[in-house]
Structure 1
């Protein structure tokens, strides 16, 4: 992973004017504030045939409905397009697929992302985002979430290495994202970054690499100034990989930064037998996992801690301060939690 030098062992004043309105000039107040809605359909039955052309035409607050189909090519939501909603029209996320196959080895981290979402207050729901790069020798992002207060509901995020990146800002500028009732798939560091990211009521599937080391679910680089990093809650961790061959995460000091001390909590979730007992948390780039803030609370399933491995557990009193709402509140009290 190359982001920030990530190391592998393998970002009219004046006078007031008055006007008299005739009845014909009076517009209902609601119409002045109604969101613009446009439709994307690959078969030409909508306003646009690609998601990117629809985004180019959209303004802040536009709702973009996407009809069933496979949409090839990368999509970028710029920071100036705040409040955009992208939504599939069927409610089945498998019906609408945005897909690319670009690796970071040729395009860089952001350039590899099938969807690069840099805008704040966006909502994405009812669709699939995939990066199908098959060589498995490079990071290849499905989603780069780089804006604050982003919500993802009923989405499928499919990749192999570095599927989902939450990245941007430290301290009070840290970005926040909420993922709910979704599906995330990958093998190596496939949920990672320095944002405040809550993954709630979601299936997280580790791919089988056919190895005694079947990868790592998370790689957090949370800045020391931020108490909250990645929270996985009320979710299911699953895999067809061999028992005790998948780590919950490893410690990413992005660019070798000493103050990138990742924070990950897995709580109130069901863990499959693929999760390691010993070695559930792993070192990375010469840094011990103990330099990061890794813990669990209230998990169940065959992969939950048996007390025989090195699996730090929160106390009930401490866990009360590590809820989804706390991770996302920031200074403005944002609370999208379902």
Structure 2
């Protein structure tokens, strides 16, 4: 079982990355995007100056796009690697994380496109971004729990080599993700999700927080015990940045693009990256085992040939 655990150095690295932003906050470092108002009524201003001021005004939106798109790319790379891993080894763990991360990545991508007005909509970004964020996080937690819970109950033998089922499920969830975000973007009114004067500044983020805690303490450890692998153990470790992300949003973020908002979006990338690293480590171990097996086979053949030549 121990050989199927993520190296403790990597676990501590994840913990340090999750804690470091808060420690830097205590030292006075602010990760919030600077806010600047663009006054369209200002006269005697050059075109270049207008463009420059607009870029500074939209710096928060640019940072949000970069962070969300980085998370999306990480999810896509993990999906591709997990599907290859599943196809080669018929490992029952990979379709779960593959479907979950593909679906979550699609939600993140559509959420970003809607926030940048690349998906037509009428909802105000002040409501659209935090509301779709909360929906995306809830979606992510539920699909991870649903996938892990399903394979804790179902017999995995019949699902091995079911690569077509995994791909089809991923596409279905991708369409659902686009549909949900599109509805939100086209809604004229969305529920209020930010309460800056409350202890819980974003109550909609409490539900995903509780679900991730439940997954990390109950579901994922049982899943790992039943299907031990570096990948399934990485799923447990990924809960650390998932919970840290929700804590920053639920109890810290009071407005768009502020300090806790940007930290949470960064930590979500780490949460997606941990399973990806787990897959890479599994590939490395498999390669080393194959190399060791080939070396042992070569040595055995050498001994056999020497014995055969002596017998002659």
Which band: TM-score by shorter chain?
A: under 0.3
Instruction: Flag the structure with more relative contact order, 1 or 2, with Cα contacts below 8 A and sequence separation at least 6.
Output: 2
Higher share in strand: 1
When the two structures are superposed, what TM-score results if normalisation uses the length of structure 1? Answer: 0.20
Larger Rg computed on CA atoms: 2
**In proportion to residue count, which structure has more helix?**
2
TM-score, normalising length from structure 2? 0.21
